[in-house]
Chain A
Amino acid sequence: MNKITSLEEEEKLQLFYKSFASSPNSTVLVKYEQGKPKMLYVSPSFTKLYGYTEKEAIGKNPNLLNSGQQDKKSYQFMWSQILDPKIGYWTGEVVNKKKNGSLVPVILTINTIFDKNHQAEYFAASHVDITERKAQEEKLQEIDRMKTEFLSVAAHQLRTPLGSIRWSLEMLLEDVKDLPKTAKETIASIYQRNKDLIELVNDLLNVTRIDQGRTSDKPEPTNIANVIRQACQEMAPLAEERKVSLIQKLGADQIEANLDQTRLKQIILNLLSNAIKYNHLQGEVEIGLDKEEHNFRVVVKDNGIGIPERDQKNIFDKFYRADNARKSITEGSGLGLFVVKQYVEAWGGKTSFSSKEGKGSNFVIHIPLKPKKNTLNQNLSSQSKSIKW
């Protein structure tokens, strides 16, 4: 019985060896002895990729492929992973050198075979040529760079006339004292619509930055109540126009956190502007601030039009607007709550709400007193980990 089993085992091993050897990926078996790796076997696709014959490769140290571009730290990390019997594995991007001196980017995967004493004995490695993928990636990066540049130029070109319209209207209202009431009202409403456009340009830019993970995060010691008071001050004209009363309940006046003030103000402005805009005449908006153990909490409560149940699961989506919001105010970008959620979550915070159509909404944000730094950027950079040999 034993004999048959071992034959079967041997056959399996042979099959496995064949599949390893004939893999379209370049495969290498490396013997590791006294701290020195030596190539024991190279597959036909290896010789094809790198241009070395079997004879030229076998017995050599795999650093034959070293392109000299290695980043020492990543290289050391790789060795620490493959020599550790608890891990025994490493995969990553490297740039190797062919026999003719040209460079080739590959995904290298190394798997260690340990002996009885948990010492590394062999490394089975596979190299996948990613030249084409790299070229595609570079093209995409170039397109991304062009998109960013275009947006920057477009924003500048849009802001220039919008800003000058804003200032001219301001001067007009100030200089011409004897304008009839209707003319004044018309100018005031042009002023407001122009300001809406400016805000739309700003919102679009913010969203693009979030998408690209390029949002700035400049933390500084901040008194939260002060930022809320500033935001309320900025929202006062809108509240007055809509005859909505804005109530501040800033019980925890002294809360300080280390965070980017511009971002926090944007979060609060977006919540307040929704609560005021999607409200009834003579409505009420209340903003509250409390301290929790590791967070501070901001609550924005209104008795406005509320969010229909069917829209509730989507309200944080980019460009999404609830049905009744669209009917109530036709303009609006559907970006405000998206920005709120992205910013709050980037700091490691949470956003939640409860709402009833026709009754009002209650938005709650919890932000850590020590917010995470710039997670938006970290997410992006973690996608492009690679090492160079």
Chain B
Amino acid sequence: MSNSNKKVVLVAEDDKFYSQIFKSKLEKEGFIVELALDGEQTLAKIKTRVPDLILLDLVMPIKDGFEVLEAIQADKKLQGAKIIVISNLGQDSDVTKAKALGAHDYFIKSNVSIQEVVAIVRKHVGSN
């Protein structure tokens, strides 16, 4: 399959440990993976190319995940990707706020396996 048919997943994650696992697992499953290490980088990457799906952490430097969601909500040009929040924050207020700001789904990182993350990504963008 050519690269152009592959789905693009943008991983917004400041913890390098996590972002490397995301990258190696998702690439192995046939996705193109872009990494962003803070909120601002995330928005810059979306501006260059809106991905098929964004895996969004909430606690990030410079701009946090909520600010990223707000920026996307305010700018039509940034919209179009499925946004899945995957964070270790898990208060009900965080979940409600993220969903109100346009997140399609919300998962607590430590409560899902990486295999489940792949299944979640597939569910939202289909297989490659």
Residues 36-48 of chain B, each 1 if its beta carbon lies under 8 Å from chain A, else 0: 0000000000000
- Report chain B residues within 8 Å CB of A155: 88, 90
The residues of B with any CB-CB pair to A shorter than 8 Å are 15, 17-18, 21, 24-25, 59, 88-92, 108-111, 113-115
- Report chain B residues within 8 Å CB of A159: 88, 90, 108-110
- Report chain A residues within 8 Å CB of B17: 164, 168
- Residues of A in contact (CB 8 Å), total 19
CA–CA, A162 and B110, complex, Å:
7
Q: Is there a chain B Cβ closer than 8 Å to A142's Cβ?
A: no
- Report chain A residues within 8 Å CB of B110: 159-160, 162-163, 166, 198, 201
**Closest CB-CB distance, B119 to chain A, in whole Å?**
13
Interface of A (DSSP majority class): helix
- Report chain A residues within 8 Å CB of B90: 155, 159, 205
**Closest CB-CB distance, B104 to chain A, in whole Å?**
17
Does A198 lie within 8 Å of B92, measured CB to CB?
Answer: no
- Report chain A residues within 8 Å CB of B15: 160, 164
Q: With contacts A159-B90, A160-B15, A163-B18 known, what are 13 further pairs, Cβ within 8 A?
A: A156-B89, A162-B110, A163-B88, A164-B18, A164-B21, A166-B113, A167-B21, A167-B25, A167-B114, A168-B17, A170-B115, A171-B25, A198-B110
The residues of A with any CB-CB pair to B shorter than 8 Å are 152, 155-156, 159-160, 162-164, 166-168, 170-171, 198, 201-202, 205, 214, 216
Does B24 lie within 8 Å of A171, measured CB to CB?
Answer: yes
CA–CA, A168 and B91, complex, Å:
25
Interface of B (DSSP majority class): helix
CA–CA, A163 and B17, complex, Å:
10
Does A152 lie within 8 Å of B111, measured CB to CB?
Answer: no
CA–CA, A159 and B13, complex, Å:
15
- Report chain B residues within 8 Å CB of A160: 15, 88, 109-110
- Report chain B residues within 8 Å CB of A168: 17, 21
- Report chain B residues within 8 Å CB of A163: 18, 88, 109-110
Does B111 lie within 8 Å of A198, measured CB to CB?
Answer: yes
**Closest CB-CB distance, A184 to chain B, in whole Å?**
17
- Report chain B residues within 8 Å CB of A162: 110
CA–CA, A202 and B109, complex, Å:
12
Closest A residue to B21 by CB, please name it. A167
By Cβ-Cβ distance, the 6 closest A-B pairs, closest first, are: A163-B110, A159-B88, A159-B110, A216-B92, A163-B109, A167-B114
Closest A residue to B117 by CB, please name it. A167
CA–CA, A160 and B90, complex, Å:
12
**Which of B59, B89, B91, B110 has the most CB atoms of chain A within a 10 A radius of its CB?**
B110
Given A159-B109, A166-B110, A202-B111, decide whether A171 and B21 contact each other with a Cβ distance below 8 A: yes
**Closest CB-CB distance, B64 to chain A, in whole Å?**
12
Pick 23 A–B contacts, CB within 8 A, sort by A. A152-B89, A159-B88, A159-B90, A159-B108, A159-B109, A159-B110, A160-B15, A160-B88, A163-B109, A164-B18, A164-B21, A167-B18, A167-B21, A167-B25, A167-B113, A168-B21, A170-B113, A170-B114, A171-B25, A198-B110, A198-B111, A205-B90, A216-B92
